[in-house]
Structure 1
Amino acid sequence: MALPAMRESLGLSTTGVQWVVNAYALGFAGLLLFGGRAADLFGAKPVFLTGLIGFTAASLAGGMADTGGLLIAARSVQGLAGAVLAPATMTLIMTTFLEPRERTRALGVWSGTMAAGGAMGAVVGGMLTQWVSWRWVLFVNVPIGVALILAAVPLIARAPGRGATLRTLDLPGAITVTLGLTGVVYGVVTTDTHSWGSAAVLVPIVAGAALLALFVLIEARSTHALVPLRVFRNRSLAVADVAALLIGAGMFAMWFYVSLYLQQVLGFDALQAGFAFIPGSAMIVAGTMVATRSLGRISPRPLLLIGPLLAAAGLAWLSRFPADGSYTADVLGPLMLLTFGMGLAMTPLAVAGTAGMPRHEAGLASGLINTSRQVGGAVGLAALSTVSAHIAANHTGSAKSALAAGFGGAMLGAAVLLAAAALVATLMPRRGKAPAQG
């Protein structure tokens, strides 16, 4: 919502505007696995506080930036801090709520809050940009961060980590996976300015893939592996990771293209587009509540089938995107259906991803799920952007109808990805039902 105002204020080029987003994505995706493992090794509370302090400080620096370079640098640090912070929240839940029934409830609240906060960000971002300044999109994080830090110090219990030395940190593994993920994501996100076959895209992707292959070899031989390969024998975790990859690929693109359709085709301003997502936010919360209650009686498997299928149906409905459409007739219904499906899937995904994992590896499990979702989002958005651009370029109608057709093609591709996630969920173990919630 704030990107156009940032571009005008700081004189950013088109590429510079894209890197305001990409810098965060690179930092976040690259460090997620190490961030998740750090919570296991050092303890969730100090890692949580470190990430929160870093994110708050980077938000302050970004809001004060007077050049595009400083803003992009601040966004990169935000991504690195977020990669430490995000998996630590899951570790805190796993180590605080030991009884399965209470843990499922906590994961439900966590999933619903995360989804609702993300959707509310569109509204708040539009309000702050339109009524105050784009800088407050970043400054708003500062009082929130300070309040959370002051609350976390006395309220979060300090659970001891496993202890870490240079030997147990698995630095070769941490370096190769971080650089490998960064290379792959860097190559993918540059497809918005370079073709898929260009050296600017292929070189970092191939280098990143080679480093990830080296990472697997290192982990197979390491006695203190960052990601012990044995964890993938846990079928529930392995299936959840693949499902998260596909769901991330489809849903990241949905938020992006619905926002573009509202603004570029229907003529909404930033604030109107933000408010248009409120029903979707409410349906995510509703879906999360239904899933959390249902997990007391059933395993995650049926919810991971139904949720993505509902989301796929909503995305297929959205793919109609007419050039002369309206919000109520062409967006509201499918948006509510697909976000309800997403809400149904989020908590079961978190439960399945941590099922059978020991407490001291909760951060690792969370890091794997988050990494799958983030990398899936980057790759999916880039791939569907190519589909959208190709359809729009070959459309014979008006410029607005070409845009609508391209956006619709991206939504159809996202629907296929969500349907594939449901298909993958059929491989989820049938066992693992949570205890009744009483």
Structure 2
Amino acid sequence: MRRSPWATLAVLALAQFMVVLDVTIVNVALPDIQKDLAFTPDNLQWVISAYTLVFGGFLLLGGRAADLLGRRRLFVVGLALFAVASLGGGLAQSQEVLIAVRAVQGLGGALLSPAALSILTVTFAHGRERNIALGIWGGLAGLGGTLGVIAGGVLVDSAGWEWVFFVNVPIAAVLIAVTPGIIRESKVETEGPRTFDAAGAVLATGGVLALIFGVIRAEPLGWSSGEVIGSLVAAVVLLAAFVVVERRSAAPLVPMRLFRSRGMSTATAVLALNGAAFLAMFFLTAIFLQQVRGLSALETGFEFLPMGVAAIVAAVGASQLVARIGTRPVMLVGAVVSVAGLWLLTQAGATGSYATDLLPGFLLFGVGIMFVSIPAQIAAVADVQHDDAGAASGVVTAGYQVGGALGLAIITTISTSRVTDLVAGGGDPVNALVEGFHRGLLVAAVFAGVNLVIALSSPQLVPDAEQLAEAAAAA
């Protein structure tokens, strides 16, 4: 039976749309989740970090497993895990359960996303058709992030925060039902042993998890506490063990030779910092708008919407500029614009006009993050061997996710510490929240500013159409 490649693309793009939608839709619901499940400000970030950590930590393992066990099979397994975890998230009655199911959601995403992109690349031949397919894939993924803020607001205000999780269940169920009839199974045929390097994935995720836990616990306990020191030591040991395992593995998740590429090394660092600034800004601003400015979830979504639209427009503009002037100038402009957007947001207070206090910062930041990510994705794979291109894309995507989780932990800890100190000193709680918001965004601006320095040392590349399409899909 002949299967339509465009029907395949529709299924894959809808699945990726759902995964991306989940990131922003949950952010808008955070204040309601915090209130209903009695999250502390320190613990609330785990609703986001548990997902991004596991997603980033197991992304490479998911891609390799899809190639060896079957891409369609892993795609369906990932969808099923995502759906079950989403149902569990909506039914969660405690912090621990919600954080646990968010981690399972991350694992589902880590299985289905690389499998979906692999299916897309083997379904469409190299050239114009694949470029069109990758452009549609990337565009719908970006649209998912933008619409998530509105969908989250509608669901939270009309039905409750639980529905930001429940909404995934029917979508995933339909996709699971239609996939066998639309998508053909494919996998890599190999004569050697099918090695997955699960140890590498566990060590990497465990090491970053220990590092983030240590950073978070430093705020209430102090950096000299045994728990904090123990967590940080465990992080160093686990991450060192990860490097040793990867060097010795016959089929490593992260081939160390990739980092001999200057483009790969700088792009991974840039995207990690970009993820840190973006996740922290989204997290802090969603709470600021609802707990300080008193907006509803839906009103919060509408205030975020221009940033998403700016990001979509900027992605197109960045691709065109990179094709004309190369990667480095666009990345430099993106870093400067990101810093400017974050600085403008630090000027917002508990009252004031949205048009003058928040909108300019949102627009600039939306443009800046895409002007950084598009050229960084291109530079990452520019001088990597063709056989390593898939692994390189996985590394930078994982770097973005893990960098986002680590940056969120650092920035939220600093922000919360500022709020706690001011309230303990007799300050007004609302003013303390505003000061904490400003402090956190200033640190995010520093992260974005470091990208300016890294961009100066990044390689200059003028890409071809294929590289532009792949970058748009991955951004």
Q: Smaller-chain TM-score range?
A: 0.7 to 0.9
Distance of 2:288 and 2:34 partners within structure 1? 21
Distance of 1:251 and 1:355 partners within structure 2? 25
Please point out which of 268, 285, 294 is paired with 2:321: 294
Please point out which of 197, 207, 214 is paired with 1:187: 214
Contact 1:108 1:347 in 2 (8 A): no
1:110-259 aligned at under 5 Å gives the runs: 110-161=137-188, 163=190, 168-190=195-217, 194-259=221-286
Contact 2:216 2:413 in 1 (8 A): no
Which residue of structure 1 lines up, in the alignment, with residue 14 of structure 2?
none
* Counterpart code for 2:435: A
Contact 1:173 1:215 in 2 (8 A): yes
Distance of 1:8 and 1:260 partners within structure 2? 12
TM-fit CA distance, 1:146: 2.5
Task: Compare 154-163 and 234-243 and name the one that shifted more.
Answer: 154-163
Contact 1:37 1:363 in 2 (8 A): no
Task: Compare 297-306 and 130-139 and name the one that shifted more.
Answer: 297-306
Task: Compare 318-327 and 234-243 and name the one that shifted more.
Answer: 318-327
- After superposition, give the CA deviation of every residue in 1:96-133 in whole Å (9 maximum; x if it has no partner): 55546666665554444334322322221221121012
Which residue of structure 1 lines up, in the alignment, with residue 450 of structure 2?
420
Task: Compare 158-167 and 219-228 and name the one that shifted more.
Answer: 158-167
Which residue of structure 1 lines up, in the alignment, with residue 437 of structure 2?
407
Distance of 2:388 and 2:165 partners within structure 1? 33
Indicate how the Cα distance of structure 1 residues 103 and 188 shifts in structure 2: closer, same or farther if over 3 A, else same: farther
Q: What's the TM-score once normalised by structure 2's chain length? A: 0.81
Distance of 1:84 and 1:78 partners within structure 2? 10
Is 2:104 the partner of 1:77? Answer: yes
Distance of 2:400 and 2:136 partners within structure 1? 19
Task: Compare 189-198 and 261-270 and name the one that shifted more.
Answer: 189-198
Distance of 1:47 and 1:96 partners within structure 2? 16
Distance of 1:195 and 1:127 partners within structure 2? 40
Is 2:381 the partner of 1:354? Answer: yes
* Counterpart code for 1:320: Q
- After superposition, give the CA deviation of every residue in 1:288-324 in whole Å (9 maximum; x if it has no partner): 1112333444433332222222111111121212343
Indicate how the Cα distance of structure 1 residues 131 and 328 shifts in structure 2: closer, same or farther if over 3 A, else same: same
Task: Compare 177-186 and 314-323 and name the one that shifted more.
Answer: 177-186
Task: Compare 425-434 and 247-256 and name the one that shifted more.
Answer: 425-434
Is 2:295 the partner of 1:265? Answer: no
Contact 1:307 1:344 in 2 (8 A): yes
Which residue of structure 2 lines up, in the alignment, with residue 308 of structure 1?
335
Contact 1:56 1:146 in 2 (8 A): yes
- After superposition, give the CA deviation of every residue in 1:234-273 in whole Å (9 maximum; x if it has no partner): 2222211011111111111111122222123222122211
Which residue of structure 1 lines up, in the alignment, with residue 403 of structure 2?
376
Distance of 2:429 and 2:202 partners within structure 1? 46
Which residue of structure 1 lines up, in the alignment, with residue 358 of structure 2?
331
Residues matched between the structures, number: 436
* Counterpart code for 1:262: L
Q: Which runs of 5+ in 1 are unaligned?
A: none
Q: What's the TM-score once normalised by structure 1's chain length? A: 0.87
Is 2:86 the partner of 1:33? Answer: no
* Counterpart code for 2:105: Q
Indicate how the Cα distance of structure 1 residues 120 and 206 shifts in structure 2: closer, same or farther if over 3 A, else same: farther
Distance of 1:264 and 1:180 partners within structure 2? 33
Contact 1:355 1:432 in 2 (8 A): no
Question: SS of the residue aligned with 1:2?
Answer: helix
- After superposition, give the CA deviation of every residue in 1:364-396 in whole Å (9 maximum; x if it has no partner): 223311221122222222222243345443599
* Counterpart code for 1:289: V
Query: CA RMSD, aligned part only?
Result: 3.1
Distance of 2:237 and 2:404 partners within structure 1? 21
Contact 2:341 2:364 in 1 (8 A): yes
* Counterpart code for 1:128: L
Indicate how the Cα distance of structure 1 residues 54 and 318 shifts in structure 2: closer, same or farther if over 3 A, else same: same
Is 2:364 the partner of 1:364? Answer: no
Which residue of structure 1 lines up, in the alignment, with residue 78 of structure 2?
51
Give the % identical residues: 39
* Counterpart code for 2:408: L
Distance of 1:263 and 1:32 partners within structure 2? 33
Is 2:460 the partner of 1:434? Answer: no
Q: Which runs of 5+ in 2 are unaligned?
A: 1-27, 469-475
Distance of 1:387 and 1:4 partners within structure 2? 19
TM-fit CA distance, 1:167: 6.1
Distance of 1:239 and 1:101 partners within structure 2? 29
Indicate how the Cα distance of structure 1 residues 416 and 92 shifts in structure 2: closer, same or farther if over 3 A, else same: farther
